[in-house]
Amino acid sequence: SFASFAKYLELRFYGHQYTRRANAEPCGHSIHHDYHQYFSYNQMVASFSYSPIRLLEVCVPLPKIFIKRQAP
């Protein structure tokens, strides 16, 4: 479902804020940043991996969003 995929993306982007619950000594690797994750469905495969980028510029959108209403 889309809700679970959205949660997956949230964990991918903000996963550094979460820690593991195991009692063993932590290895220091991030479960979300230091691994490749693969998913398959029917005959398709998706691969996710984290690559840090250097942000060069930020463009802020307009403060208002205009939506045209369509007649039913």
Average pLDDT value for residue range 40-60: 86
In this structure, of 12-21, 41-50, 52-61, the range with the lowest mean pLDDT score is 12-21
Residue 37 within a domain: yes
In this structure, of 12-16, 22-26, 53-57, 61-65, the range with the lowest mean pLDDT score is 22-26
pTM: 0.45
Residue 40 within a domain: yes
Residue 7 within a domain: yes
Residue 24: which domain range?
2-48
Q: Which pLDDT tens digit goes with each residue over 14-29?
A: 766 666 666 666 677 7
Tally the domains of the chain.
1
Residue 70 within a domain: no
Helix (H, G, I), strand (E, B) or coil at 15: helix
Q: Which residues contact 45 (CB under 8 A, 6 or more apart)?
A: 38, 39
39/19: higher pLDDT? 39
CA within 13 Å, CB half, 10: 7
Residue 8 within a domain: yes
